[in-house]
Structure 1
């Protein structure tokens, strides 16, 4: 399976990088995720419950981050085991690019799966994968809106000004601190689920 996509975020590149590297954020945003734990430097253990059509199972996985260029990009190497339901492994490249006062998140995934899940129809697998990705980004956006309300207020004001043909509103200053560094793993864990779902 090969999958790629992008998402526009109201928060800055640094804020997104920090958030995408926080286990608590990941656990809250990833559908079905019940565990994200650090097991070593840039290594994590994850646990998830997935249901694709008639196949439902809990699976355990491992994630290793490499080629890290903070706060721009990294590569996620993953593998997971869901017992008789199936297994999966692959890599994902994640990149954050500044875009005005916000940023754009791009990802590309290469993965393979086996077992019962690999026998399901590709349309069902792809549909579930897309649904999970959308669910993750919706939850992530809501979490970021709560953590950085000023960034979303500035984006909304700029959009209204643009619609009214007015001059752009000055960018709001980036908030200091913010969420720890873990949401990149979010992309990783969601993608971990996606590769497990897709062939």
Structure 2
């Protein structure tokens, strides 16, 4: 699965960068996230519970940050196992650019999956990915506004995501983080 998106955020680039590198904030914002812990420099152990259609599972994995250019961008590599439900792996690129008093977050995600979850229809997977990304960004913006209310003068524009069908698991915003997404986003990866 390939997915790209962007989000206008009311907070300055440095505040958003700090939040995207805060394990506590990411754990609170990633849908279904049960664990997001730093295990070594730039490497996190992640655990999340998700449900896509009839498949529900707990995924355990690792997220590694590379190509870090603070406070502008980084690359995420992720690998997750969900037992009989399957596995997901891939990468995400997150970029922040100043935009007025706030900043713009851009992300790309590329992922592949195997197991039962890979047998779900692409339309269902794409829909779940978009929903998880939007949920991550909603939570992320709420957390930023709660922690930095003075910086949040104007409401942010909605996220845009364009999943492309290439057979994969939705990207779980570690992106968005993750993705996120990402970005984490947790978009199921």
Q: What's the TM-score, normalizing by structure 1? A: 0.80
Q: Name 2:80's counterpart in structure 1.
A: 80
* Contiguous gaps of at least 5 residues in structure 2: 156-175
Q: Which has the higher contact order (CA 8 A, sep 6+)?
A: 1
SS at match of 1:194: coil
Q: Which one has the bigger helix percentage?
A: 1
Matches within 5 A, 1:4-23: 4-23=4-23
Whole-angstrom distance in 1 between the partners of 2:186 and 2:133: 11
Whole-angstrom distance in 2 between the partners of 1:35 and 1:28: 10
Instruction: Give the conservation status (yes or no) of the 8 Å contact 2:179–2:187.
Output: no
Q: Per the alignment, do residues 128 and 140 of structure 1 end up closer, same or farther by CA in structure 2, a change over 3 Å counting?
A: same
User: CA deviation digits over 1:17-63, x for unaligned, max 9?
Assistant: 00111111011111000100111110000000010000000010101
Q: CA RMSD in A?
A: 1.6
* Contiguous gaps of at least 5 residues in structure 1: 157-182
Q: Per the alignment, do residues 51 and 189 of structure 1 end up closer, same or farther by CA in structure 2, a change over 3 Å counting?
A: farther
Q: Name 2:56's counterpart in structure 1.
A: 56
Q: Name 2:184's counterpart in structure 1.
A: 190
Whole-angstrom distance in 1 between the partners of 2:47 and 2:5: 24
Q: Report the more deviating stretch, 185-194 or 110-119.
A: 185-194
Whole-angstrom distance in 2 between the partners of 1:69 and 1:85: 35
User: CA deviation digits over 1:152-193, x for unaligned, max 9?
Assistant: 23x36xxxxxxxxxxxxxxxxxxxxxxxxxx85563472464
Question: Are residue 106 (structure 1) and residue 143 (structure 2) matched?
Answer: no
Q: Per the alignment, do residues 116 and 184 of structure 1 end up closer, same or farther by CA in structure 2, a change over 3 Å counting?
A: closer
Deviation at 1:84, TM superposition (A): 0.5
Matches within 5 A, 1:1-199: 1-153=1-153, 155=154, 184-185=177-178, 187=180, 188=182, 190-191=184-185, 193-195=187-189
Structure 1 residue ranges, 4+ long, deviating more than 3 angstroms after superposition: 183-186
Aligned pair count reads 168
Whole-angstrom distance in 2 between the partners of 1:13 and 1:50: 30
Instruction: Give the conservation status (yes or no) of the 8 Å contact 2:94–2:178.
Output: no
Larger radius of gyration: 1
Q: Per the alignment, do residues 193 and 82 of structure 1 end up closer, same or farther by CA in structure 2, a change over 3 Å counting?
A: farther
Instruction: Give the conservation status (yes or no) of the 8 Å contact 1:10–1:152.
Output: yes
